[in-house]
Amino acid sequence: MRIFLPVLGIICLFSCTTNSSKEFTSVHIETIFEDSLSIRAIEPMSTDQVWFAANNGKIGLIDAKVPKLANISYGDSLLHFRAIASTKDAVFVLSVANPGVLYKIGHNGSEATNIEEVYVETGEKVFYDAMAFWNDKEGIAMGDPTSNCLSVIITRDGGNTWNKLSCDVLPEVAPGEAAFAASNSNIALYGDHVWIVSGGKRARVFYSADKGEHWEVFNTPILQGSAMTGIYSVDFYDDKLGVIFGGDWDKKEFNEGNKAITTDGGKTWNLISNGKGPGYRSSVRFVPNSNGYGIVAVGSPGISYSSDRGESWKELSQEGFYAIEFVNDTLAFASGRNRISKLRFK
């Protein structure tokens, strides 16, 4: 017995640090909603329910393939939504440009019960990109700079009131540095941590370890320097392991400097599969229960999958999507032009 104990220890150590989930070889795509919309923000509630926010003021809940839809207007204008988040009792949607309007949508689990305007910001530079909640009380949304810092608003009371952070507490942005409202995934949360990603002239990661009280910023090796280059999406598996994805929207096939990984909470980033694998993608997510080895990235060019933390990739589909959100380790919802689909990975 003494002879085999060290060997068993090594085997256990190895197995605990590798991908424990089944590797994907294919994806089955089932369209559950179609409309003439650009849908870049989705929030799954269960395996059969997903909320969405889209352009032309359209929001909705797809409940077992049954759409329950509403239109939201502000004055005489229909708003364009690209950010969505939820708590136990409400769903929140945030419009993308001037005016930036945030709505709290109460619901009973199967339909909306009331819609309340909880934040409004006006100005020619107003442009909000993403939103997320740490818990049922505390949430955060981010947008492009209106001054010399990113726009960051935070709620501490369940979304009833929101306050914009002063540039005195946020890192200064570079000229031409902003963010992309491509998939509601410019923000990643884990525990008390928050990471926000930027693009354009600079591609950086803005970080707070205490729910937005204090901030610092880290450089990345992601392609940057022009208006459509940079980081489009971020995800963290835990407080140390994270992935960023993006590239050049104008050169979607270009696969150099468009994906990177961190193992120290975002302080340093290393390019993965540089010059190999997919080019531009707008949304990236770790596969749940994969020990951080499984990664899926989607974009208008298709669906890409890695089982080894981005070192190698498989192209599972050429069907294009803007955003993806997992429900469990084999099921996700994805949204794109004119549709929402359910993705079953096998």
Q: What is the 8-class DSSP label of residue 23?
A: P
pLDDT at site 218: 99
Query: How many angstroms separate the CA atoms of 192 and 130, rounded?
Result: 18
Which tokens in the block code for residue 150?
């990113």
Choose among 242, 233, 241: nearest CA to 334: 233
Query: How many angstroms separate the CA atoms of 258 and 278, rounded?
Result: 9
Place of tokens 């006006």: 122
Which tokens in the block code for residue 236?
């963290």
Query: How many angstroms separate the CA atoms of 202 and 199, rounded?
Result: 5
> For the whole model, what pTM was predicted?
0.94
Q: Are strands 27-44 and 204-208 parallel, antiparallel or unpaired?
A: unpaired
Beta bridge partners of 63: 49, 66
Strand order in the sheet with 302-306: 283-286, 295-299, 302-306, 314-317
pLDDT at site 20: 59
Give the 3-state secondary structure of residue 257: coil
Domains in the chain (CATH in brackets) are 24-345 (2.130.10.10)
Choose among 75, 90, 77: nearest CA to 131: 90
Query: In tens digits, what is the pLDDT along the chain, a chain of 346 residues?
Result: 333 334 334 334 444 456 656 899 999 999 999 999 999 999 999 999 999 999 999 999 999 999 999 999 999 888 999 999 999 999 999 999 999 999 999 999 999 999 999 999 999 999 999 999 999 999 999 999 999 999 999 999 999 999 999 999 999 999 999 999 999 999 999 999 999 999 999 999 999 999 999 999 999 999 999 999 999 999 999 999 999 999 999 999 999 999 999 999 999 999 999 999 999 999 999 999 999 999 999 999 999 999 999 999 999 999 999 999 999 999 999 999 999 999 999 9
pLDDT at site 335: 99
- Answer for the pair 226, 245: CB distance below 8 angstroms, yes or no: no
Radius of gyration for the alpha carbons in the chain, expressed in angstroms and rounded = 20
Query: How many angstroms separate the CA atoms of 194 and 75, rounded?
Result: 34
